[in-house]
A and B are shown apart, each in its own frame.
Chain A
Amino acid sequence: MIFEVRLEGATYKEPPTKFEAGTPHIAGAIGMGEAADFLMEIGMEKLRNHEMEMNRYAIEGLKKIKGLKIYGPLLSAERSGLVTFTMEKIHPHDLSQVLSEEGVAVRAGNHCAMPVHTRFGLTATVRASFGIYTTKEDIERLAEGIERAKKKLR
């Protein structure tokens, strides 16, 4: 990034080199390329369809749980691959803890989205996200885990 460094001061190369000190994250760049190849090999449309199917299956299953509220549009095509919800009388932290003990990993909190939570009058929610590796069985375990948490914590 530098031309010359003296005790009294330094001179710098032109951008972008000026802002790139040391060895760049080469492994990361190669990894990203591989990830992109991997996804494109499967097919982006196929991936999106899988995502929507997981959404649909999750919303269908979670909707049946008494006291559970889902946020955002219920049409899976209008969502990205996740479902955010709250459970009546159970704090998101506690619900996610019990789910974790059941081997189901969700996120609890505001998901770096405080303003949208404020918009819905909430402070914290639970979020289940889906990937290409998510199966219907995973979603069934999520629903079962929530029912178990209800029995345990209420």
Chain B
Amino acid sequence: MDLYRENLLDHYKNPRNFGKPSWAGDFMFEEINPSCGDKIGVAVKVNPSTSLRASSKQEIGDIRFWGEGCIVSVAAMSMLTEEVKKRKRLENILGITKENVLELLGGKESIPPARYSCALLGFEALQKVLARVKSKRA
């Protein structure tokens, strides 16, 4: 299966939820792949009406990402932010696995293992941010 399908190229040229937001604060992280210089930053905002709940029941109100990278890394993160918005609840979002991310891109069969680090760069950044959200409400 062709990796650079229309869908992927569309997410690369028109990345969803793209741009460092003015509200980026505590829940933000930038991940770099030094071997190629790709950099993905991500920020999330907790939905204020859920902020008093136990951390797992909290909802992510908004997510944005920024940076520069190859088609795979940008498209993957674009799709991942859509998935995060779809799931809303932190405990659901924490359930997103590396396999899920690869599925979003078209499945493991369409991505060579050499590109996994590209596909998962944004995912890694997101994990670090989510860990902070979770620990803020012990």
Query: Which residues of A line the B interface, CB within 8 A?
Result: 91-94, 97-98, 100-101, 108-110, 114, 122-124, 152-153
Contact = CB atoms under 8 A, between A and B. Distances in A.
A109 B36 contact: yes
A113 to B, nearest CB: 11
Interface residues on B, range: 10 to 19
Interface stretch (B15-23, B66-74, B88-96, B100-108): B66-74
A152 B36 contact: no
B118 interface: yes
Contacts of A114: 34
The CB with the most chain B CB atoms within 10 A, among A100, A109, A114, A123, is that of: A123
Contacts of A98: 4
Contacts, number: 40
Contacts of A97: 3-4, 112, 115
Contact of A93 (B2, B9, B34, B36): B36
25 contacts: A91-B36, A91-B69, A91-B70, A91-B71, A93-B36, A93-B118, A94-B4, A94-B70, A94-B71, A94-B72, A97-B3, A97-B4, A98-B4, A100-B112, A109-B35, A114-B34, A123-B34, A123-B37, A124-B35, A124-B36, A124-B37, A152-B4, A153-B4, A153-B9, A153-B71
Nearest to B2: A101
A5 B37 CA distance: 50
A93 B4 contact: no
Nearest to A112: B35
B40 to A, nearest CB: 13
Contacts of A91: 36, 38, 69-71
B88 to A, nearest CB: 32
A64 B38 CA distance: 28
A91 B103 CA distance: 22
Nearest to A117: B37
The CB with the most chain A CB atoms within 10 A, among B35, B38, B72, is that of: B35
A97 B115 CA distance: 9
Contacts of A93: 36, 70, 72, 115, 118
A84 B38 CA distance: 19
B130 to A, nearest CB: 26
Interface in B14-60: 34-38
A110 to B, nearest CB: 6
Nearest to B74: A91
Contacts of B9: 153
A93 B3 CA distance: 13
Contacts of A153: 4, 9, 71
B108 to A, nearest CB: 16
